[in-house]
Structure 1
Amino acid sequence: MAISPLAQIHPSAIVEEGAQIADRVKVGPFCHIGPEAVLHPGVELMSHVVVQGITEIGEDTLVHPFAVLGGIPQDLKFKGEKTRLVIGKRNRIREHVTMSTGTGGGGGLTQVGDDGLFMAGCHVAHDCIVGNNVILVNNSALAGHCHIGDEVIVGGLSGVHQWVRIGRGAIIGAVTMVTADVIPHGLVQAPRGKLDGLNLVGLKRRGVDRSDITALRAAFQMLAQGEGAFQDRARRLGDETTSDYVREIVAFVTGETDRSFLTPGKA
């Protein structure tokens, strides 16, 4: 068992043979660490945390009580194949959060980036790819195979349909069901998920230049009111713009997807 002598493990915790526990790790009371878990330096499991399966938790991540990380997918097609959950650095994972490993048919990996905040009761399903600086608010849920870009916020009690992509910097309002892809920096709200505009507050907080915000506003209007199909409007934007932020939207809309798009004015 590869346990660092500098790790602090409570006597009531169970650490199964084979688990790898690095320096500065703290494992609190009544935690259960499975034999294929890897805890990197500075990880802290406060109490009653379960780490199952092939699960890797990055440096300085803090996990609050009753979280379950690396449980088997909630997918009837899963047949016990060896799949993984990889969680990045400096994440804050609150009470009762669940994150599943991947499935063989979905790539075998659920991946969470760095510096995220996963509030109480939220769920990250099998084969999701979650970026950096993501916030999932209380009791929100990502279904299988979702791709969530950097700096996305998903509001409380919201759900994201399987295979949906949410672009960088988008924000999903509370109590919203998202069933189609969301453009980068989009603002989505209403019970059935309506693309209502841009995440202007987030853009300003991140210090985005005013000229780029102006370009994004103009791009959104063209996507909302221009002629032709949504993808055609996006391609025309790519030919006309000099803004990297607008080009990011164009690349997102013209990229590969298994879903349709939330478009302005369409729920």
Structure 2
Amino acid sequence: MHTMILANIPSPPQGVWHLGPLPIRAYALCIITGILVALWLTLRRYKERGGNPDDVWDAAIVAVPAGIVGGRLYHVITDAPKYFGEGKNPWQAFNITAGGLGIWGAIALGSIAVWLLFKYKQVPLAPFADAVAPGVVLAQGIGRLGNWFNQEIYGRPTDVPWALEIYYRVDEQGNFAPLTGHSTGEIISVVHPTFLYELLWNVLVCLFLLWADRRFRLGNGSVFVLYVAGYTLGRFWVELMRDDAATMILGQRVNTWVSLIVFLSAVVVFIVMKKRRETSLSPGTSQAVKQTE
């Protein structure tokens, strides 16, 4: 009995092109595109909140490099065996062109950098955090296209109609080069396109945040907290489907645990923020405030 494959998603034949001696990396182009889209959306939303557009540009100047450093640090820490130990080259930890950026570290260090900037400028952080949240998750989705070009962040073998074909890639000398090489046309695996699942989820989270913000008039940082909860919920089930190499803790990928912990934390924070907001708007509280004035 033959299994009929209706359609498969092909991987790009290569992820790096050379303009003379200059390598043009699809992964970097996707990240840059995501940043530009996030800037455009954040500028629109921050202006609607009465914010100064210059604050957005200043935030980008500190957040982007901090995010890259944080993303690399997270990757190196959680995948330390790749860089440290017998037979390993620790200097490869600085080779960011070989791939390896953890979104957790990028968001964490980028957020700290922006928080310090706004504290220095004496500008409220919450309105900016709410304005930037939909753009950040949309940028993450666009960035996942870079994983498609790099043939990484993939799932387990499957025969679903939308399965992703992973090609054997070689360099000019014919050596195996999955990131920088070009395809020979040989299919070495057919897997779940988990990069695509996360991309679509991130777009849905972006649309949900835009809708919820207008529908419920969210504020005081609650949009950003909702983004964290929404993203980590999707990342949790995507991690359960992935099959590429990863650091394991108690039988699960490290990012599975991080997703779960951060999701639960965000839900708790959101509930607390919601209760505080309801309390501050309740008639009894308003009357009590008037009596003490």
Tell me, yes or no, whether TM beats 0.5. no
**Superposition TM-score, scaled by structure 2 size:** 0.21
Higher strand share: 1
* Greater relative contact order (CA < 8 Å, ≥ 6 in sequence): 2
Q: Which has the larger radius of gyration?
A: 2
